[in-house]
Amino acid sequence: MATALGNHFEWQLYNGNQWVSIFNDFVIEAHYCQPGANGITIHLNMGPVYIDFDEMTVDGPHNNLNIRRNTLLSYNQKEVIGWYYKDNHRWCEYGSQGSDGRSSSIRSDFVEQHYNSNPRGTVQFTVGNTTYKVDFNAMTQTNLSTYMLRKVRRRPKFKEVVTDNSINQNSSPIVASPSANPTNSSSHYIWEFMGDEGIWTEYQKPGCSLDSVEIERLYQLNPQCQVSFTVRRFTYTLYFSGMYQVNNKYGTKRNVRRIASGIQQTNSTLPQTVHWQFKDINGQWMDYIKGGSRGCCSVSSQDIEAEYQQDNTGTMSFRAGRFSYELDFSDMSQTNLSTNTRRSVRRLQQ
């Protein structure tokens, strides 16, 4: 059933250096939950800041500001979501009467169910003899007879969640369990998403507004919640329960994984330190550095060593800048798959 809660949300502003919580963010939340609210202007120490609720962007005295809304709910709770369309006079929730006195044949929970199944999809419904289509990607409603377009919005209802006490916590779909001792700094986890070319890529700042440390902190608080973040001008939602992320504008879905950073060091027969290097164009041996300034490599020495331990005669793929490469362990070389340039590779043990 739906119940009123204390704050299960957290609005944060990225000030160019770090994410900081916004004081009295329930004011932002109250406006955000109103379907007719385009945004809100708040006054901070740095000056007035305008938050655009549709685009989840922020305008202020600095150019590098970002905004996000985190939700922290128990394993058996979820927010109550309202779906609204803009008629000629006001925003109306699906299932309620519009200004013309007619009601749609669907309700918000029905639209939300279809949205969660496919955030880039559509759903059709009827009002009288007229059929309409809601496009989740464009956030529009189309009359399939007249092709009239109307705006659509998806907003949470203020301080309302649905609690299902019949859910057994032990049977909830937790993909990876938190550390038994979250305060133990030695238990460090890396969070990665499936990037282009099928390569696992770690969440890293400054390109991404979240990194592994921050994601792990939120995961420890609630392994069933969802977290918003930004990468350049796009906003995403990371779903811990399903271990995937969704581009909030285009609906693109990517898998996510959580791995222990020291997992390869559990075998005491492995060397304490391994460095993988390639010979660059000047004949110098260079380390593989994930996310480094030299072309933003997608793998580190530890990543390569992990693959090498599994099959020391196989190959692995990675990216650096805009190029894809193949590293061949059998002949210790890497090949640029676009130019076919081949370079020597070596493995150093200390």
Give the residues across from 308 on adjacent strands: none
Q: What is the largest CA-CA distance in the chain?
A: 77
Query: How far is C-alpha 1 from the geometric centre of its chain's CA atoms?
Result: 28
Is the pTM higher than 0.75? The answer reads no
Domains along the chain with CATH numbers? 81-163 (3.30.720.50), 183-261 (3.30.720.50), 266-349 (3.30.720.50)
Per-residue pLDDT of the chain (350 residues; tens, 9 = 90+): 343 345 778 888 888 778 788 888 889 999 999 999 999 999 988 889 999 999 888 998 887 788 888 877 766 778 899 999 998 889 999 988 766 667 677 899 999 888 888 888 899 988 888 899 999 989 999 999 999 999 999 999 988 888 766 544 443 332 232 333 333 433 478 898 887 656 778 888 877 888 888 898 888 887 877 888 888 778 888 988 888 898 888 778 888 988 876 544 333 333 446 788 888 888 888 888 877 545 568 888 888 888 887 778 888 888 888 888 999 998 899 999 989 999 999 988 75
Dist. CA 293–CA 120, nearest whole Å: 35
List, in sequence order, every residue forming a beta bridge with 32; answer none if it has no partner. Answer: none
* Cα 78 from chain centre: 18
